[in-house]
Amino acid sequence: MLSTPIHFPVSLRSFLALVFLVIAAGCGSNSTPAAATLAPGVPTQAKTAVVAATTVAPTPTITPEPQAVRIDQDGITVAEYQAELAQLQEALQSLGKTLTPEEQRQQVLDNLTDTLLLAQGAFENGFQADDTAVQQAIDALGDAKAVQDWMSQRGYTEATFRGALRRQMAAAWMRDKIAAEVPETAEQIHIRQILTTDPDIANQALEQVKLPGSNFAAYSYQYDLATGGDLGWFPRGYLIQPEVEEAAFKMQPGEISPVIHSSVGYHILQMISREPARLVSPDARRVLQHKALQDWLKTRKEGHKVEVLLP
């Protein structure tokens, strides 16, 4: 760990935190060895001996790096995994947080796998990052010596760092593409609720709000003094409790639901209004974008061979 931390801008620190070590698995050479040139005047028998001596020398074989994860034909090396694990442990220490060794292992594997899946998707969709673009990303990191020190202490070489940046650039491009495809408008409903953890109280409340002349909004303030249970406008996929959302979207304006049981308690809903195409709020769109990303990754994993090779 550096004795003095590198103070990159926040966006660049976040970028570096997502960079994964890429070790080349080895490269073969397609060039044909040049024919041996014999000195003039060497007897034929000697020439044969010289040629034999030059051709029997074994060709060095580069041993492939052991892999932690493989997705189809693309691999993530054990060295990458260890480098990313070290970065996670540094981050946990600086934040004063703890994870068990198994939780750390799983988080790193998940992050590396998701990033490789996204990068593969980016290249399949036409993303390109040539050497100039990668160099610009490196230059944007700031102090060259500080970056070099940071790389060295984590086992990066110039080539592996460039490879890691290229892959991370591809993953970020695909992530942004998925997010951008989430519509800015959607069908939305405006709901008010009464929520309690006691089923008997919920049933009593339902009887009260269904009495002729009952004011649902006034009654709901007894259970939520701050907002009166007003959930505001939201699209499909926004609520955490799917059973509540499913019931809500089946309702019509003015309708009151039966008691709905969820993981957080017992709900009674009132539909206030519905719009078929309403501008999605920034908060709701972020939720939908996150869901779209998770759905994309889930589908991608189901359609590709993801192998964890760590013991």
The secondary structure of 219-285 as a DSSP string is: HHTTT-TTTTTEEEEEETT--S-HHHHHHHHT--TT-B---EEETTEEEEEEEEEEEEEEEPPHHHH
Predicted local confidence at residue 27, as pLDDT: 30
Predicted local confidence at residue 46, as pLDDT: 37
In the chain, pLDDT over 90 holds for what percent of residues? Answer: 62
Is the pLDDT reported for residue 32 higher than 70?
no
Q: How far apart, in whole angstroms, are the C-alpha atoms of residue 301 and residue 299?
A: 5
Lowest mean pLDDT among 19-23, 216-220, 256-260: 19-23
Lowest mean pLDDT among 32-36, 75-79, 146-150, 154-158: 32-36
State the CB neighbour count (10 A cutoff) for residue 20: 24
Q: How far apart, in whole angstroms, are the C-alpha atoms of residue 144 and residue 158?
A: 12
pTM, rounded to two decimals? 0.74
Q: How far apart, in whole angstroms, are the C-alpha atoms of residue 199 and residue 222?
A: 16
Backbone angles phi, psi at 138, to 5 degrees: -65, -45
Q: Which residue's entry shows tokens 């309702």?
A: 251
Q: Please tell me whether residue 141 adopts helix, strand or coil conformation.
A: coil
CATH code linked to domain 186-279: 3.10.50.40
CATH topology of domain 1-184+280-311: Triger factor/SurA peptide-binding fold (1.10.4030)
Q: At what angle do helices 131-139 and 158-180 cross, to 10 degrees?
A: 90
Q: How far apart, in whole angstroms, are the C-alpha atoms of residue 26 and residue 150?
A: 24
Strand partners, 233: 190
Q: How far apart, in whole angstroms, are the C-alpha atoms of residue 66 and residue 310?
A: 9
Most confident region among 17-31, 66-80, 197-211 by mean pLDDT: 197-211
Q: Using alpha carbons, select from 257, 201, 208, 198 the residue that is nearest to residue 231.
A: 257
List the chain domain ranges: 1-184+280-311, 186-279
What are the structure tokens assigned to 50, written together?
Answer: 């010289």
